[in-house]
């Protein structure tokens, strides 16, 4: 056990930091075009798709190097690259499960953001029970025809392509009749509508598919193997952003401590109140524990071990932490914490939101409710932990056998 960073990693961090200092956009990026320009700059510096194989435009970099880049970006307040789903989910899926033609055709264009991607998994009636999805893909000889509706599609508005899960065999057990496809979004059979969330913003969309066409060459893996592919997909994002996530929390925490110095109750600064101190200290302890956890995950990845179901523990822990953190932040900030506009600068929060707007404490608080729902709710994660790590018996489920319709 040695938690000191290696000289190589320290040197690499310095190099990334220097690059960011020179290349950071001077003003917040407002348009998609501006974001794409920044994205390409990151790519050309070798900071995107770092873990992907070199022959498809990646860097073959170590997990620690990827984590350092993301972390330095978070620390410097750099805007995120665009095409997040392409980089985080679609690309790794194609790297692992795609054929040679698919890798050559799609990976590079994800990295350059020439083609933007979204993920078409959840449906209105298939959330936690994703395997019950109803969107169908019918074999028409040289292509598939897709009908159905998807929801919670991030970046659907700007996507050129979507990674789709659709049912190709309704007669077999629900987990066995699903296939994975790459579907062009810009076609007459696909309609995208923004979904307004409780945050007031629209990071997500609904996607309606009516006779949409998918070529045979765009099927990923074999027929009926989509469920297994989807399950590995959900595990990809666990390591790369681990340190960056913590640095983001730390920056927010420092803002909160400053706010606790300014605000008063009963004539005393909040920072002197024993109960506030206890709450702030508890959050700092939990935040640091998440940082230690991130170091553990990175250690596993560096050793070439896949965290597997351990990813469920990590996700459960940090997403539940984020909710507790934001609740304490609201308690301290009071009405200031609820402002979506017009907060005095010293009590405002400057974070880059998922849609690229400057964030507020109110937005961060509301958004923290999403983390324990998306990518497998806390309840689903606990089922996974119980069954796959602790080896507890599976529950009796009414849908275990039989077809979906």
Partner 1 sequence: MNFAFSDDQTLLRNSARALLDEHCKPEHVRAMQEDARGYGEALWGEMAKLGWLGLPFPEQYGGAGLGLVELALLHEEMGRVAYPGPFLATVVLGGLPLLLGGSAAQKEKWLPAIASGRARLTAALQEDSLDWDPASIAATAERAGAGWTISGVKRFVPWAEAADAVLVPARTPEGVSLFLIDPKAAGVTLRPTIGMDLTTRWSEITLGGVAVGADALVGPAGGGGALLDSALRRAAVCASAEMLGTARRCLDMAVGYAKVREQFGQLIGTFQAIRHKCAEMLMEVENSHSAVYYAAWALEAGADDASVAASICKSYVSDAARRVCGEAIQVHGGIGFTWEYDLHLYFKRAKSLEVQFGDAEYHRELIAKHVASS
Compute the least distance from the CB of residue 127 to partner 1, in Å.
Answer: 16
72 classed as catalytic = no
Please tell me whether residue 339 adopts helix, strand or coil conformation. Answer: coil
Chain positions 250 to 279 lying near partner 1, rule: CB under 8 A, are 253, 257, 261, 271, 274, 277-278
**DSSP character at residue 405:** -
Closer residue to partner 1 in complex, CB, 100/395: 395
Site string for partner 1, 209-248 (x = CB under 8 A): ----------------------------------------
Q: Where are the alpha helices (DSSP H) in 127-234?
A: 226-233
Compute the least distance from the CB of residue 90 to partner 1, in Å.
Answer: 29
CA distance 165 to 233: 12
Q: Which of 232, 246, 258 is CA-nearest to residue 329?
A: 258
How many residues at the interface with partner 1, by CB under 8 A? 50
Question: Across the chain, which distance is largest between two alpha carbons, in Å?
Answer: 76
Give the H or E element holding residue 107. Answer: helix 100-111
Q: Which of 24, 32, 295, 354 binds partner 1 (CB under 8 A)?
A: 295
Residue 387, interface with partner 1 (CB under 8 A)? yes
Residue 282, interface with partner 1 (CB under 8 A)? yes
Q: Which of 163, 192, 280, 362 binds partner 1 (CB under 8 A)?
A: 280
Give one DSSP letter per residue of 291-331, joined into a string: HHHHHHHHHHHHTT---TTHHHHHHHHHHHHHHHHHHHHHH
Please tell me whether residue 126 adopts helix, strand or coil conformation. Answer: strand
Give the H or E element holding residue 220. Answer: strand 219-220
Compute the least distance from the CB of residue 288 to partner 1, in Å.
Answer: 5
Instruction: List residues with catalytic annotation.
Output: 237
Binding site for partner 1 (CB under 8 A): 1-6, 9, 64, 253, 257, 261, 271, 274, 277-278, 280-282, 284-286, 288-289, 292-293, 295-296, 298-300, 302-303, 313, 316-317, 379, 381-383, 385-387, 389-396
């Amino acid at each position: 056990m040695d938690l000191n960073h290696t000289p190589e990693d320290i040197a690499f961090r310095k190099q990334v930091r220097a690059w960011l200092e020179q290349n950071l956009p001077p003003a917040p990026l407002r348009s998609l075009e501006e974001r794409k320009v920044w994205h390409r700059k990151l790519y050309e510096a070798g900071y995107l798709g770092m873990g992907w194989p070199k022959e498809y435009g990646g860097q073959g970099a170590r997990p620690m190097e990827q984590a350092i880049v993301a972390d330095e970006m978070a620390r410097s307040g750099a805007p995120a690259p665009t095409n997040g789903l392409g980089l985080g989910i679609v690309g790794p899926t194609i790297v692992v499960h795609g054929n040679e033609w698919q890798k050559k055709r799609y990976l590079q264009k994800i990295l350059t953001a020439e083609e933007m991607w979204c993920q078409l998994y959840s449906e209105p009636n298939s959330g936690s029970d994703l395997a019950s999805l109803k969107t169908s893909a019918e074999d028409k000889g040289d292509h598939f025809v897709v009908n159905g509706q998807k929801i919670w599609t991030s970046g659907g508005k700007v996507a050129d392509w979507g990674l789709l899960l659709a049912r190709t065999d309704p007669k077999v057990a629900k987990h066995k009749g699903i296939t994975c496809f790459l579907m062009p979004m810009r076609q007459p059979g696909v309609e995208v509508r923004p979904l307004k969330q409780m945050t007031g913003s629209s990071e997500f969309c609904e996607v309606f598919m009516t006779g949409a066409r998918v070529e045979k060459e765009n099927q990923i893996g074999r027929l009926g193997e989509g469920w297994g592919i989807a399950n590995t997909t959900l595990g990809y994002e666990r390591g790369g952003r681990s340190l960056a996530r913590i640095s983001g929390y730390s920056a927010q925490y420092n803002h909160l401590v400053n706010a606790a110095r300014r605000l008063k109750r009963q004539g005393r600064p909040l920072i002197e109140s024993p109960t506030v101190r206890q709450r702030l200290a508890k959050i700092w302890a939990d935040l640091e524990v998440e940082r230690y956890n991130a170091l553990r995950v990175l250690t596993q990845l560096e050793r070439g071990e896949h965290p597997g179901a351990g990813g469920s523990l990590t996700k459960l822990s940090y997403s539940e932490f984020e909710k507790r953190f934001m609740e304490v932040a609201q308690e301290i900030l009071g009405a200031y914490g609820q402002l979506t506009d017009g907060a005095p600068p010293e009590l405002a929060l400057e974070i880059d939101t998922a849609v690229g707007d400057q964030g507020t404490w109110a937005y961060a608080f509301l958004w923290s409710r999403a983390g324990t729902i998306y990518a497998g709710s806390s309840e689903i994660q606990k089922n996974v932990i119980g069954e796959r790590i602790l080896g507890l018996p599976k529950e009796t489920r009414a849908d275990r056998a039989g077809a979906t319709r």
